[in-house]
Structure 1
Amino acid sequence: MAQQSGFGRWIVVITAVSAAIMELIDTSIVNVGLNDIAGNLGATIEDVSWVVTSYGIANVIVIPMTGFLQKYFGRKNYYIGSIILFTLASYGCGISTDLWTLVFFRFLQGVGGGALLSTSQGIMFDAFPPSQRATASALFGLGIVLGPTFGPTLGGYIIDNFHWSWMFYINVPVGILAVFLSLTYVEKKPDEIDIDRRQIRIDYFGIILLTVGVGALQYVLERGESDDWFDDNVIIYLTGAAVVAIPLFIWWQLYGTRSPVLDLRVLKNTNLAVGAILLFVVGYGLFTSVLLYPLFVQRIIGFTATKTGTMLIPGGAIAAFCFPLVGKILSKGVSPRYVVMAGYVVFATFCFMMSTYNAETQDPDFLKALLVRGVGLALVNVPLINSSVSTLAVAELPTGIAITNMMRQLGGAFGVAITNTYVTQRAAVHRGDLIVNTSPENPLFTDRINALTQGLASKGINALDAVTGAYRNLDLIIQKQSLMLAYLDTFKLAGLFFVVSFPLLFFIKNRKMDAATAKAVADAAH
């Protein structure tokens, strides 16, 4: 296949990165708008969370199957078809007048979106010669980080200034342009031109097991906390489905079929097995930080949605600056393992920095922490993916890359689940610890109640209501303090994940990809 060059090459880059960013933005853009969507559609907050859950379930089901789907339909056809599906589903989300129509279109959006993330990098890599693939990988990695980072920024601006439906309508012109550019500039690989689908065996049973197992697991992780975990029958049934389907899927892929939809034998490769675990941790850190930071600054500090998002921009800018540098470092022959080690240390530093903040923390401190986060993400994402697949045979690369993508996505889902659960549990613990001090024998408590009572009385409130109001205000203060301490504990927990998993980096073998392997990664990656 001929290499793209000049103007055409950069059109392919812009198209591929934009499509990936568009998909990843939609994983987080609606988070800041759930209250508005619930109010407009007459839904409860619990039900409207399906807008997020349905997208995540579809994503995590499609991602591991993309290798097979690209082979069956041809990469260019599959890519363009996915953009069309994503764009039409985005429009469907925007025009939805009831919750479950919106949930349906969000699921379709997730199906198309999972394919966008999984095919964009390979298409972009084909525009570069092997010597420049590290730079291309860095450019794509930038999109991986900027999508979840800028999703809340864009969502907050739209919610504060426009109708929530514009969170979906903005995808439509981008999708139409991406389809046109892909038809014009993206070339087919030789093996895409004459596909004989009669020769391709479809692992129907494997697809069903993967869909049931991974879909059920994703649902349990995303909905468990809000549905009271095993007090809810649906959670119990789907946990059972995951427990049965996932081991059966593993057995079927290893021993039950000659044409597995996801050949798990590649996990015998040490680099891939260790890299998959580490990418799970990276997904946990990426999505947890995107979830925790807005909650902390909005509920504790009092930021607006727009300011919350705007504060993320400098961190995204430093990541944009660092990604090309990472690409150059890798292209010079520096071991990806050392770059990932640095990224682990930097990202853990961000988590521990955030765990020391409080309600009096000023904007510059948050900016400093978010800048550290941007550097950490730039150092860890692309080098870790490259290390994970660097020792695979060429034929194993599509499956290896599908596994790394799935593990990063599952890490994000696990991160959201453990964050919600841990925050709830720690807030209850801290509230209990603080309430112990609310005793009449405690002079500090008595002084605080008297001060609050006098403050309310000075505003013309009668003595009895002033005392009642003082106790109510103190209870709200305790709630806020408990929640703040729970957030700090959760940031610390995220940092510990990176610390505990750090020794696994020493099990990754140092190997620089040769040109043939780099080209194969280009054909199969993401």
Structure 2
Amino acid sequence: MTTNASSPAPADEPAARPAPGGPPATHPPLQGGQRVLGTIALSAAVFMNVLDTSIANVSLPAISGDLGVSTSQGTWVITSFAVANAIALPLTGWLTMRFGQVRLFIASVLLFIVASWLCGLAPNLESLIAFRVLQGLVAGPMIPLSQTLMLGSYPREKSGMALAFWAMTTLVAPVAGPLLGGWISDNYSWPWIFYINIPVGLAAAWVSWSIYHKRESPIRKLPIDTMGLVLLVVWIAALQIMLDKGKELDWFASGTIVTLAVVAVVGFVFFVIWELTDRHPVVDLRLFAGRNFTVGALTLSIAYAVFFGNVVLLPLWLQTQMGYTATDAGLVTAPIGLLAIVFTPIVGRMLARTDPRILVTIAFGVFAGVSFMRSNFTPQADIVTLLEPTVLQGAGMAAFFVPLVSLTLAGLPPDKIASASGLSNFLRITAGAFGTSISTTMWEDRAAMHHAHLTEHIASGSGATSQALSTMQGAGMSPGQALASINNLITGQALTMSVVDIFYGSAIIFLVLTAMVWLAKPGKRGAGAPADAGGAH
């Protein structure tokens, strides 16, 4: 096995954090202006990446309308990116060893720019989904490597500060995404939600290369688990397509859905068997032997699936049923990060001396309360009623990600942190994609059920129906137009009742997760606790 390592630093220089999956680097922390510029450049790249997971949410109706597809089909724009991104994550460690963390990071940013440009040029849904898949694949290494480089830029005693800067970026992007996406959709055209990545990405890549190109990690040639990767792609893709197409094809009444289900199950079984027996697995499933990792990773994944499903569903409901423009829907959903930005540094300091299970319990309590508040929404809800739970949710976000990741990685040996981070990220992002598909499908299914129940009470012989029809016809409507108007009112009410059902169900799930997190053991607390969670987002 050949190793091309960079020249070692003097023995008295402190070592930087290791790259995911690679040997420790030997570069000292950055100083002064270089550290500031490096932090800004890495944060800009993360901002661009995370922004693309939220900016399309409020633009879905515009994209779907322009491309002539339904809103449920348009959600593929979100899920295709998320699934491809999740599949690429387990490869980050191997790619880092093969090409070096700096070269891989810069390549990821530049390829992300190209993929964004192609997304903006897409003439139809099929090509847009293909380019979003490409965008998700090349974006995979960007977030874990940005965190690795950020930690290596700071002295060990300031690693908590480095993580705070990094986490702040991931929280600002969801705030800016809905606002920016809505404003662009209303004032320009949806392709510009992708074109804006080009100047940001070019600047981030240039500054990052100028600062970090002499801080490359060692390169090693290792075999890749090709069969494991193929099986991973097969079962994840089959399951996601089944979830996205199920409603359209009438679920298991369709031979296509049955086939996809069989492929997903068989592919998953063979994937598990192969990964447990291969010498260099692409996903280290033996990590699930640890209680903390299993409880933490599953809790994080389920919570993120519910959280992200609601983040996608809320603006869809606002635009399709409440008459909100994309900009207004963005204004309602954007404040989700305001309190998160304020409280994240505080939670970071508390984590060193507080049981992370307590912080996560508080977070899930807030999420449950927010979901209960939203379960009381009506078509007459004003802007204040809509904004209150969104603002409060930010407080829960601050105590959600970092403490739960810290709990997930607690007790793992250093050489397992990178693999655990990659697997945890993979589960979280895949769950987010599934959550989007499941929530939109449930919304339509529950709406159809409520529509059927409501129409049972609108019998043609009832007094209320006759009076409503008479009033409408007296206003100049034909009998057909009056019936159509009543049907539209029923449809709107059914969709609102459906979204309220999902919010209520989300609250119950968060309460269950509140108990589930206590199955984990409390991790060791101390000054290094936040840093040990690095690389897991």
* TM-score normalised per structure 2: 0.88
1:145-294 mapped onto 2 (5 Å cutoff): 145-186=171-212, 192-193=217-218, 195-197=219-221, 200-255=222-277, 257-294=278-315
Letter in 2 for 1:282: A
Structure 1's unaligned 5+ residue stretches are none
Of 439-448 and 337-346, deviating more is 439-448
Does residue 497 (structure 1) correspond to residue 509 (structure 2)? The answer is yes
Of 315-324 and 51-60, deviating more is 51-60
Residues 51, 103 of structure 1: 8 Å contact kept: yes
Of 132-141 and 347-356, deviating more is 132-141
Considering only aligned residues, what root-mean-square deviation do their CA atoms show, in Å? 2.5
Residues 139, 323 of structure 1: 8 Å contact kept: no
Counterpart for residue 94 of structure 1: 120
Letter in 2 for 1:241: V
Change in 2 beyond 3 A, CA 1:97/1:430:
closer
Of 30-39 and 269-278, deviating more is 30-39
Does residue 433 (structure 1) correspond to residue 457 (structure 2)? The answer is no
Instruction: For 1:103 and 1:161, locate their aligned partners in 2 and report how far apart those are by CA, in whole Å.
Output: 24
Of 416-425 and 174-183, deviating more is 416-425
Instruction: For 1:327 and 1:511, locate their aligned partners in 2 and report how far apart those are by CA, in whole Å.
Output: 15
Does residue 301 (structure 1) correspond to residue 327 (structure 2)? The answer is no
Instruction: For 2:399 and 2:463, locate their aligned partners in 1 and report how far apart those are by CA, in whole Å.
Output: 51
Q: Aligned residues, how many?
A: 511
**How big is each residue's C-alpha offset from its partner over 1:193-216, in whole Å with a ceiling of 9 and x where there is no partner?**
3x231xx22222112112222232
The Cα of 1:99 is off from its aligned counterpart by: 4.4
Residues 64, 71 of structure 2: 8 Å contact kept: yes
**How big is each residue's C-alpha offset from its partner over 1:451-505, in whole Å with a ceiling of 9 and x where there is no partner?**
3333x23xxx5xxx2x333222111111111111001001111111111222111
Of 373-382 and 127-136, deviating more is 127-136
**How big is each residue's C-alpha offset from its partner over 1:322-362, in whole Å with a ceiling of 9 and x where there is no partner?**
2122112224x112211111000001111110000101111
2:104 equivalent among 59, 78, 84: 78
Counterpart for residue 414 of structure 1: 434
Instruction: For 1:53 and 1:44, locate their aligned partners in 2 and report how far apart those are by CA, in whole Å.
Output: 15
**How big is each residue's C-alpha offset from its partner over 1:10-62, in whole Å with a ceiling of 9 and x where there is no partner?**
32332223222212222232344345445555667676554444323311211
**How big is each residue's C-alpha offset from its partner over 1:217-266, in whole Å with a ceiling of 9 and x where there is no partner?**
233333433443334444333322221122212111212x1111221111
Counterpart for residue 404 of structure 1: 424
Counterpart for residue 95 of structure 2: 69
Helix, strand or coil for the counterpart of 1:311? helix
Instruction: For 2:127 and 2:452, locate their aligned partners in 1 and report how far apart those are by CA, in whole Å.
Output: 42
Instruction: For 1:98 and 1:302, locate their aligned partners in 2 and report how far apart those are by CA, in whole Å.
Output: 26
Counterpart for residue 383 of structure 2: 363
Counterpart for residue 29 of structure 2: 3
1:292-371 mapped onto 2 (5 Å cutoff): 292-331=313-352, 333-371=353-391
1:400-479 mapped onto 2 (5 Å cutoff): 400-439=420-459, 442-454=462-474, 456-457=475-476, 465=478, 467-479=479-491
**How big is each residue's C-alpha offset from its partner over 1:67-104, in whole Å with a ceiling of 9 and x where there is no partner?**
22222222212111111110111122223345444333
By percentage of residues, which structure has more helix?
A: 1
Instruction: For 1:404 and 1:240, locate their aligned partners in 2 and report how far apart those are by CA, in whole Å.
Output: 26
Of 505-514 and 418-427, deviating more is 505-514
Query: Percent of counterpart pairs with the same letter?
Result: 33
**How big is each residue's C-alpha offset from its partner over 1:117-163, in whole Å with a ceiling of 9 and x where there is no partner?**
23222222222334433343343333334434533322211111112
Of 9-18 and 429-438, deviating more is 9-18
Instruction: For 1:100 and 1:450, locate their aligned partners in 2 and report how far apart those are by CA, in whole Å.
Output: 47
Change in 2 beyond 3 A, CA 1:440/1:92:
closer
The Cα of 1:397 is off from its aligned counterpart by: 0.7
Letter in 2 for 1:71: M
Residues 389, 400 of structure 1: 8 Å contact kept: yes
Letter in 1 for 2:496: M
Of 467-476 and 77-86, deviating more is 467-476
Counterpart for residue 24 of structure 2: none
Instruction: For 1:408 and 1:29, locate their aligned partners in 2 and report how far apart those are by CA, in whole Å.
Output: 19
Instruction: For 2:504 and 2:149, locate their aligned partners in 1 and report how far apart those are by CA, in whole Å.
Output: 38
Change in 2 beyond 3 A, CA 1:525/1:287:
closer
The Cα of 1:520 is off from its aligned counterpart by: 5.9
* TM-score normalised per structure 1: 0.90
The Cα of 1:516 is off from its aligned counterpart by: 7.1
Residues 47, 169 of structure 2: 8 Å contact kept: yes
Change in 2 beyond 3 A, CA 1:299/1:232:
same
Change in 2 beyond 3 A, CA 1:85/1:110:
same
Helix, strand or coil for the counterpart of 2:140? helix
Letter in 2 for 1:249: F
Instruction: For 1:31 and 1:313, locate their aligned partners in 2 and report how far apart those are by CA, in whole Å.
Output: 11
The Cα of 1:105 is off from its aligned counterpart by: 2.3
Counterpart for residue 103 of structure 1: 129
Letter in 2 for 1:266: L
Change in 2 beyond 3 A, CA 1:219/1:140:
farther
1:125 equivalent among 151, 159, 179: 151
Instruction: For 1:345 and 1:409, locate their aligned partners in 2 and report how far apart those are by CA, in whole Å.
Output: 22
Instruction: For 2:287 and 2:410, locate their aligned partners in 1 and report how far apart those are by CA, in whole Å.
Output: 12
**How big is each residue's C-alpha offset from its partner over 1:269-291, in whole Å with a ceiling of 9 and x where there is no partner?**
11110011111122113211211
Instruction: For 2:410 and 2:34, locate their aligned partners in 1 and report how far apart those are by CA, in whole Å.
Output: 29
Change in 2 beyond 3 A, CA 1:179/1:343:
same
Change in 2 beyond 3 A, CA 1:487/1:41:
closer
Letter in 2 for 1:303: Y
1:389 equivalent among 402, 409, 416: 409
Structure 2's unaligned 5+ residue stretches are 1-26
The Cα of 1:185 is off from its aligned counterpart by: 2.3
Helix, strand or coil for the counterpart of 1:21? helix
Change in 2 beyond 3 A, CA 1:80/1:205:
same
**How big is each residue's C-alpha offset from its partner over 1:341-399, in whole Å with a ceiling of 9 and x where there is no partner?**
10000011111100001011111111111011111111111111111102111111111
Residues 473, 482 of structure 2: 8 Å contact kept: yes
**How big is each residue's C-alpha offset from its partner over 1:386-419, in whole Å with a ceiling of 9 and x where there is no partner?**
1110211111111111121112112212211221
